A and B are shown apart, each in its own frame.
Chain A
């Protein structure tokens, strides 16, 4: 039987846990963009060792399970003097992991910026840094929006892994309630709906950004 009382009771708790999920996703996405941007710049500028460094980062992040990365970060941070920061550890681990995929997505877009545009900037006296931030990256981000959106819904769905280091995000909250109530459907059904709603709202933001910037490329 579907226990409506349990459903009504758990929704407010789940809602506050959903906020943690959104916060974790947003922080991870920001870090992913940061790591991905730095990594793609290292890879494609002629900084000595940069290419090698970036490729190694991408290979390691793509070649190891996120759960393992999460443990490494969570138990590694205290060695750097940062203790008891489960949320931070989770955001950094997911951000590092996703950053590898963001690197690859951005790389394709960066390499598609016509050489002539870069020459025009260089002929004018712009520095390499200015060319990256004024000419290459703004275009690369717009072109990559659909692929990045899809990557960031994967980030959203990776956040339940943070429960292993006791971040009370949406799925973990569900597990806790279920353990007390001995009933699962009333809890995990709204959780599933919650994830869909969060994913949809991300997609909407991305659509809005795409529409805003579409005119530049048609």
Chain B
């Protein structure tokens, strides 16, 4: 039975800020081991969707399931949903990893300190266990020699790789990436995408909001295209990128190709 339960499932998510509807009726399922890339123009609600998926910003209505557990909500004896207690919400959140656009490392802890923090504080691992786990992960993101460096001494790409290791240290069932390379200098994007590509190849369940269409075409099992708070189209990368069905997807891809054609020719 568990085989068929999706890793994460969102049903009819709506998110409004005042009069502004940022998400309108989004439903999305991601299977275990699946890599989904979410594309779309700025302001289309991609980041808001991710923030609803780990309850950082609870949706106005709709439900999210991780495995077979309802996220952030529970039903009382009459079956009416109500917000989940803080301790249980935190336990659920710890099953979902998140990597942010602006890294959000803690500047008063070293690289390895950042990675050890969650396992120690949230999972209750001993310092030694946490250190062992963190060393393995820093090694995986190619930063074993930067373990004792503070974030301020690391490049953006290195900081983001530490942030990925930090998320992995919680051994999450799902990893959410919120435009992980958008704040990086162009020459640093590659090292982060390489790490993510490796994760994708190891069948890590990932939802990646990104503008890196190249990465999406190589790493994603499925592309979801969003505009104005709705999912406009989804499909396998090859289909979506070569023959998008919807007008808005075509416009988006055309604009993207025009913007990058110069650089891609230059690199040929």
Contact = CB atoms under 8 A, between A and B. Distances in A.
A174 B41 CA distance: 75
A123 B152 contact: no
Contacts of A216: 107-108, 150, 152
Interface in A146-162: none
A62 interface: no
Contact of A123 (B54, B87, B106): B54
Q: Report the contact-size class of chain A (Cβ under 8 Å from the partner).
A: 20 to 34
Contact of A124 (B105, B107, B122, B152): B122
A122 B56 contact: yes
A134 B107 contact: no
B86 interface: yes
A127 B86 contact: yes
Interface in A70-110: none
B203 interface: no
Given A119-B100, A216-B152, A124 B93 contact: yes
Interface stretch (A34-42, A52-60, A135-143, A175-183): A135-143
A142 B108 CA distance: 9
A3 interface: no
Interface string B122-143: 1000000000000000000000
A125 B86 contact: no
B178 to A, nearest CB: 10
A138 B90 CA distance: 22
Interface string A105-132: 0000000001011011111111110100
A98 to B, nearest CB: 25
B117 interface: yes
A218 interface: yes
Nearest to A142: B108
Interface residues of B, number: 29
Contacts of B205: none
A36 to B, nearest CB: 19
A124 B122 CA distance: 8
B98 interface: yes
A122 B56 CA distance: 8
Interface string B84-116: 001100111110111010101111100000000
Contact of B56 (A123, A126, A130, A134): A123
A130 B87 CA distance: 12
B257 interface: no
Given A126-B122, A127-B86, A119 B104 contact: yes
Contacts of A142: 108
A117 B86 CA distance: 19
A126 B90 contact: yes
A126 B121 contact: yes
Most buried by B among A120, A124, A217: A124
B118 interface: yes
B35 interface: no
Contacts of B39: none
Contacts of B102: 116
Nearest to B176: A123
Interface in B159-191: 163, 166-167, 170
Contacts of B97: 123-124
A68 interface: no
11 contacts: A123-B97, A124-B98, A124-B118, A125-B118, A128-B86, A130-B121, A135-B106, A142-B108, A213-B108, A217-B107, A217-B108
For the complex of A and B, list the 6 residue pairs with the smallest distance between their C-beta atoms, beginning with the closest: A125-B94, A116-B104, A120-B104, A123-B98, A125-B90, A125-B93
Interface of A: 114, 116-117, 119-128, 130, 134-135, 138-139, 142, 213, 215-218
